[in-house]
Structure 1
Amino acid sequence: ESDLDELEKTVEPSWPKLVEPLEKIVDRLTVVWGIVNHLKAVKDTAELRAAIEEVQPEKVKFQLRVGQSKPIYNAFKAIQESPDWKSLSEARKRIVETQIKEAVLNGVSLEDNKREQFNKIEQELERLSHKFSENVLDATKKFEKLITDKKEIEGLPATSLGLAAQTAVSKGHENATAENGPWMITLDAPCLFAVMQHARNRALREEVYRANITRASSGDLDNTPIINQILKLRMEKARLLNYNNYAEVSMATKMATVDKAEELLEKLRSASWNAAVQGIMQEIVSCRVENELSPQNMHM
């Protein structure tokens, strides 16, 4: 924060005095928080979660301070309005334009009371997003299926059988081997993909498929209320920024619009629909199934 204080005091509308020091400040946080996110993904623990929960509000607060800095915003505006603007490269012009747009999207132009409301929304959205991810991770870990009959996992490659046996060992089945089992099936990506792509057991594929697509959708880990609250807060945020919906906010810094994105999706749907249906019908014939293919048989 001391570096940000210094930048705001000494900022000038020039590349060396604005963009370069700002980039160093932002990159420092980005790199550190990137490590935190990586650890959260690969080595999740209760202690790490507690530590993240403690510092996360300060992280968001700092990001908002950078995004809502009037001295920095005004300096970027000054660059855009200066006689030197035309001499800047297209890349640098794009950077300046994006910084100005992102500052507006971060609430730099809001009145004090609306900015305070905006900041509360941002803090809550960050908290909800973090909780959403934790619920998905916990639901993923929760699913375990122990298999003792090798016929039930026919088709799985030897490496996948070895991984499933290794998982079984870690869960207390000390004598588990790739050859004789038992095998522990989980929703971790290597196991999930192996089952969906190679297992001949349709019932197993369906069970794993349904467990995967319904993660964090019931019980204590149900993300439905969180999703609803995120949608509500995103709409409030959009309206504070004078947008009709959050989709418009998301597209504001992109080289497209909501209408153009929807138009592209419709073009893709129209162009691919008949070919996709034909492909599915061919799969039905080649697989010799009486009815249409189930999702778990088309997945991955």
Structure 2
Amino acid sequence: MDNPLLKPFGTPFDSIPFQALKPAHFKPAILQLIEEAKQEINAIVSNPSTPDFANTIAAMDYAGKQLNIVSAAFFNLDAAETNDEIQQLAQELSPVLAEYSNDIMLNEGLFQRIKQVHDAVNESALTGEEARLLDKTYKGFARNGALLSAEDKEKLREIDKQLATLTMKFSQNVLQETNAYHLHILDKKQLAGLPDSILAAAKAEAEKRQLEGWVFTLHFPSFVPFMKYAANRDLRKELYLASATRALKANEYNNEGIVRDIVALRDRRAKLLGFGTHADFVLQERMASSPAIVLDFLHDLLQKAKPHAIQEVTKLQALAEADGISTTMPYDHAYYAEKLRETTFNLSEEALKPYFPLPQVLEAAFDAASRLYGLIFELRTDIPTYHPEVVVYEVLENGQHKALLYTDWHPREGKRAGAWMTAYRGQWKENDQQVRPHISIVCNFARPVGEVPSLLTFNEVTTLFHEFGHALHGMLADTTFESLSGTNVYWDFVELPSQFMENYCYEKDFLRSFARHHQTGEPLPEEEIDKIVAAANFMEGYQTVRQLGFGLLDMAYHTGKLSPDISVEQFEKDTVRDTQLYPDVSGTAQSTSFSHIFAGGYSAGYYSYKWAEVLDADAFSYFKETGIFNPETAAKFKALLSSGGTIDPMELFIRFRGRRPEPQALLKRAGLVA
């Protein structure tokens, strides 16, 4: 079979040749590229020259580049445009790639060369980036079993193969359960409270399924507005239960056993490597360096936020009681929060949507990047894509090519829920030549309906800016070695660039520049802008406590707290009890669909969202002091972004801010202190 993945792509900027690809191309390509990468590693091991930085450490970073690109394309497709064939291939290829990774990490000859360089090198002879790569490489091997006995290395291999299979299966089960459910309504009276735009989308979904009436799903653009606006409490409860029981039901997609197996395997792996728990293992390479530091951080924030959260929920309960509801439940929260927002600020998310058409919001993000960092985004129609809805931009700086940016905005059956940034190719320098990155943003915003463009809620506006912040981290990357480039930083630092960009959505002058009605071009009225800014901290106590609950649950799973004699549901409820603001709903759990920690990269790291909020609030307060588009401040922040992982993140922050981060800026911004 002629395989387009095994020859020069022949596309602009060597972008992935999606137009020529079939799922069947991936397995033979990945298997062949694994063999080629192994040969590159063998050449390093058998090199007769004395091991040094160039022939061992740098050579390793350059090995397997094509395998990285092809496997990234495959797993990005599995997340954004999957099907049964791709899912089956993912089950087959995940353990194979885990085995390949272990073949490298447990290669005794390779590690001896790395150790020799590590032990003998004079660090003053290396650049700062080279010293950082040497340290990262040595630690990476040690943390992945290089110091183990032959017998324990085999145990580690088996654990990693099982984990690769289980995390993939977890993700696929959540997607199956998300797609399996829909709420079909024939009587329009049951849809009281829902805005016309949401009804139109639900009608279009029904027509797509060749059904009468209206259809609502568990995908965010359908689920969230239903929970927020539907007056029918029984239907809110039904939709909530469908979401909160995903992969928890007694069927083939149940994730309870998988959760237990993943937790147990991670714990065994950590102990095999000499760590007390998986969290100890993970946090050795984080700004927050131990479980105790993370837990202190979470509990300290909880103490400050919970009184505010209780006050907020009490106000919602008063509204619910006026409707005859004696006990407010989780499926009431979004509905009454929206009512409270409307009465407190006279602010309706739905009424704002016509002022935030997707193309306009994206243009505003591009404008911010241009004013801050001098980037220009030009539409390219000649770059192959994996779906007709995907749009690609060439990113330019001073007229020179900087990156490609793929954008994929709308939900599909083959796309997992949520929003994320990823890369098809990283950034590095080789033979004095720049290899520039190919970055992607994937979201799940409502599709255009008829002549009406995709209209974003204000929350979705901030989501777009968040993912665009991650994308900028990737696009501005300027390092020599790919493994230190872009978002290859400590996990509790990686959310700084994304959360930083959200701040611009609350700046009045900037909002005025792009919030215009999609039909009339009228600017968003000044009083509405004032309300958005005034409502910035709306339900902040509740949202903070909810996030802290997720962080505490993550830490409990990964510090050995799960025992065999307690159900996953009960363990979760016991763990988050202090963060719970509504009564339990029996038979529900977040854990079985908690993809961030069981299928993403956030295990023992979910706390990092809040940790990074401290960094981003403090960073943006500096911009507020100097001007939100101040060129000198922006140049300093651009240097932070482009440095990737070449410098310790605390040092990077201090270089930018002139001091260590202080939490006061976050507490003040969140309204948790005066």
1:206 aligns with 2:237: yes
Aligned residue for 2:246, secondary structure, equals coil
**Cα displacement (A) at 1:30:** 3.5
1:241-256 map, 5 Å: 241-255=273-287, 256=289
Aligned residue for 1:293, secondary structure, equals coil
Instruction: Tell me what 2:377 maps to.
Output: none
Provide closer, same or farther for how the CA distance between residues 195 and 13 of structure 1 changes in structure 2, counting only shifts above 3 A.
farther
C-alpha distance after superposition, 1:181-216 (max 9, x if no partner): x11111112211221233232222222122112100
C-alpha distance after superposition, 1:163-183 (max 9, x if no partner): 32222223222xx5xxxxx11
Aligned residue for 1:133, secondary structure, equals helix
CA distance in 2, matches of 1:20, 1:92: 8
CA distance in 2, matches of 1:26, 1:198: 51
Which of 193, 217, 224 does residue 186 from structure 1 map onto? Answer: 217
Alpha carbons 1:101, 1:253 under 8 Å: kept: no
Aligned residue for 1:172, secondary structure, equals coil
1:1-300 map, 5 Å: 1-10=38-47, 13-82=51-120, 84-173=122-211, 176=212, 182-219=213-250, 220-255=252-287, 256-289=289-322, 290-299=325-334
Q: More displaced, 278-287 or 130-139?
A: 278-287
What residue identity is the alignment partner of 1:248? Answer: D
CA distance in 2, matches of 1:292, 1:14: 68
Q: More displaced, 111-120 or 157-166?
A: 157-166
CA distance in 2, matches of 1:29, 1:125: 21
TM-score (normalizing by structure 1): 0.87
- Structure with the largest fraction of strand: 2
Aligned residue for 1:31, secondary structure, equals helix
Matched length = 293
Alpha carbons 2:195, 2:229 under 8 Å: kept: yes
Which structure 1 residue ranges, 5 or more long, are not aligned? 177-181
Aligned residue for 2:184, secondary structure, equals strand
Instruction: Tell me what 1:179 maps to.
Output: none
CA distance in 1, matches of 2:297, 2:166: 31
**Cα displacement (A) at 1:77:** 3.5
CA distance in 2, matches of 1:26, 1:254: 26
Provide closer, same or farther for how the CA distance between residues 26 and 267 of structure 1 changes in structure 2, counting only shifts above 3 A.
farther
CA distance in 2, matches of 1:154, 1:67: 59
Alpha carbons 2:182, 2:215 under 8 Å: kept: yes
Aligned residue for 2:332, secondary structure, equals helix
CA distance in 1, matches of 2:301, 2:105: 36
C-alpha distance after superposition, 1:77-130 (max 9, x if no partner): 344434531354544433322222221221111111110011001101111111
CA distance in 1, matches of 2:192, 2:125: 66
Alpha carbons 1:12, 1:18 under 8 Å: kept: no
Q: CA RMSD in A?
A: 2.4
What residue identity is the alignment partner of 1:235? Answer: D
Provide closer, same or farther for how the CA distance between residues 246 and 149 of structure 1 changes in structure 2, counting only shifts above 3 A.
same
Q: More displaced, 105-114 or 25-34?
A: 25-34
CA distance in 2, matches of 1:190, 1:160: 9
**Cα displacement (A) at 1:233:** 1.4
CA distance in 1, matches of 2:138, 2:194: 53
**Cα displacement (A) at 1:265:** 0.6
Identity rate, percent: 23
CA distance in 2, matches of 1:37, 1:160: 32
Q: More displaced, 58-67 or 16-25?
A: 16-25
Provide closer, same or farther for how the CA distance between residues 292 and 100 of structure 1 changes in structure 2, counting only shifts above 3 A.
farther
CA distance in 2, matches of 1:58, 1:70: 20
What residue identity is the alignment partner of 2:292? Answer: D
TM-score (normalizing by structure 2): 0.41
Aligned residue for 1:221, secondary structure, equals coil
